[in-house]
A and B are shown apart, each in its own frame.
Chain A
């Protein structure tokens, strides 16, 4: 074997180093292969990471600062709270060469609202009563009731605009108006996108080709980056890998914010978590800063509620329910658990941070008498048992969707948090136009969540991206779970 290894060495030594091309292409490592590429069929962030904003775009865009900006619609008017008239940007062409027209917008919105489509967020579109084509470049959308989130809905991944004639290939070879056209998908290995030469934003994109390579193992991903087989490690970089990369002059590390709130969820419908004193006790028992240091190597911002810092209505309530083990013990005693209680924490190793966060939490909770047994379960089981059936005491997961405070207004959601006050506040916020009044409602909702403690909001998962030096234009923060590469380029 040794002789053979030597032989292989000699053969390999005779060939040139295998580094990724440093020209105008980019190889991006991503940890998960998307389950299909149809954004109107699955809300999986692995799809959005590749397709949303790169291949397909929306009327409105969430930009790198989290602001809603006109995109395929260059402007809109709201003559009344129920009516939106969008003026489409002219000269925008799909990858199949056909120009984007108002009829495409009508088709896409009506298809999303149609139950036959099985759109994952159908309800968001069912408030639309009509989509009227005014002319080829103007479309008027009428709502049944005011919806303050409507423009955001139009910017989300489920609202991408695609041509009617390409519906059949959405899952395997999507067509859109984005800076890159779908090239090929080698299942299990990579997805390749090619530059869209007719892109409607002048001068973009700057890359000729983007290859998303699926590498689930974080060590293998890091090795690929170091060996030059990948130019960017996106989404999959572990915080433990950051310190070494920061010292390596060949790479740059981008550290930013995301909308991914890592939460210790409690089953609010199962005793003893039905008692707000127990939920508050658990919140007081957790030192979130220590969790971030221990599980995330110090990367990630401590949270106090379910609104992330990229949201314009974010208020910092992280000190509202501070680490106070004495208070936790007192609350447990008041709730009838002077000797503590036993709890099972179900986590799925699908996401690395859940297990290591769970281990630290178990240790902290033990100090106030909450004896936690950690049960690791496979992802498919976690989805069925915990997320769908709410068969759990405690669990940890990241909620990546932006503006997902609506989950707390849904008593059937796996938190099983059922607060009439919260539901009323949320319903009111949905029909209140953006502005001070809506902001006040969001502040009140965040405060109510702190008081009711239906979950413990631990930290915001950081946006950690490592790139070869010379790659520029990658988004620092991730206000929406997409990896927009339209402005990415290599330094000259």
Chain B
């Protein structure tokens, strides 16, 4: 296991290096100049040129990258060009929105999609299956931003039960903060709910056709035991893979939902930073998201071994 973890850690470092290089190159290949964006049309190109010099953007690209990389290795991700605060503190402050939002959406997805997928599989080609598939089809078909707007219209505008947007922070209490995240989490999880319900149904149906399941039934094992002990556990490997991928997708999907609900999360930070060409922030967020996704993959790999003892990482 230790060797496995070491291997994954070096893969993580390599991935981060490639991501940082990619983000650095892409954001600079794009036409657009942070100094011009900060100045806007009310300034002059000459003033923007002075600002560019002050920000150190006139230096050769390699020098800028080496400088950034050198500091990043020591944990210093630089300062935001538009906010003038350390990038790391900016990212940390946004985690208090994005992490709970992603976890809440995942929670919604898991507690609804797994039972629904299971119901569909155990009622294959019967009413339960059709209902589940129609629900998941709806989840696939409704874009998350539209779902978000519909939820706002219903729960915030018509009923006045939830906030239409914004986030006052956890300092105001757990419930007010969580209330700001409920609707976006529902909208965010809708598509993944549909995908996971279908994946669960398909995985359970596959395993249910295996010989060992039929064997268990043939020797008279009770149906509940067949389902929970033999079928479900063995179906969990592909389901877990889907959940792992979905966690990353939920984080990416939060870019749109955070904009619709005006939440100060990582997604909106990234979007604003790209628009403003706030290069240190774009790089910092890129690194952070890449790290999280690699770590989710590692966690999923480890969980494989827990679910199926035949899988070992040595």
Contact = CB atoms under 8 A, between A and B. Distances in A.
A89 interface: no
B264 A13 contact: no
A186 interface: yes
Given A12-B179, A188-B272, A36 B38 contact: yes
B31 interface: yes
Nearest to A401: B42
A213 B262 contact: yes
Categorize the interface residue count of chain A: 35 or more
Given A15-B161, A229-B166, A223 B149 contact: yes
Interface in A351-404: 378-381, 383-385, 387-388, 397, 399-401
Contacts of B190: 1
A229 B165 contact: yes
Contact of B135 (A2, A19, A172, A213): A2
Interface string B29-56: 0111100111111111101101100100
Contacts of B156: 18, 223-224, 226-227, 229
A208 B277 CA distance: 36
B161 A12 contact: yes
Contacts of A3: 112
Interface string B249-273: 0000000000111111100110010
A399 B41 CA distance: 8
Contacts, number: 196
Contact of A187 (B90, B152, B186): B90
A433 interface: no
B182 interface: yes
Contact of B182 (A8, A186, A350, A397): A8
Contact of A387 (B36, B90, B93): B36
Interface in B85-114: 85, 90, 93-94, 108, 111-113
B245 interface: no
Interface in A77-123: 115, 118-122
Interface in B125-162: 135, 139, 149, 152-153, 155-157, 159-162
Nearest to A157: B42
A282 B234 CA distance: 71
A388 B48 contact: yes
Given A187-B83, A213-B262, A214-B262, A18 B41 contact: no
A56 B309 CA distance: 67
A73 to B, nearest CB: 24
Nearest to A18: B163
Interface of A: 1-5, 8-9, 12-13, 15, 17-19, 33, 35-36, 41-45, 115, 118-122, 171-172, 186-190, 213-217, 219-220, 223-224, 226-229, 350, 378-381, 383-385, 387-388, 397, 399-401, 412
Interface of B: 30-33, 36-45, 47-48, 50-51, 54, 82-85, 90, 93-94, 108, 111-113, 116, 135, 139, 149, 152-153, 155-157, 159-167, 169, 175, 179, 182, 186, 190, 193, 259-265, 268-269, 272, 275-277
Given A17-B160, A172-B85, A187-B269, 8 more contacts: A186-B93, A187-B83, A216-B259, A223-B153, A229-B166, A380-B30, A383-B36, A401-B42
22 contacts: A1-B108, A1-B113, A8-B182, A12-B179, A15-B179, A44-B43, A115-B50, A118-B47, A118-B54, A120-B43, A186-B93, A188-B268, A189-B166, A213-B166, A216-B259, A217-B260, A220-B164, A224-B165, A350-B275, A379-B37, A381-B32, A383-B32
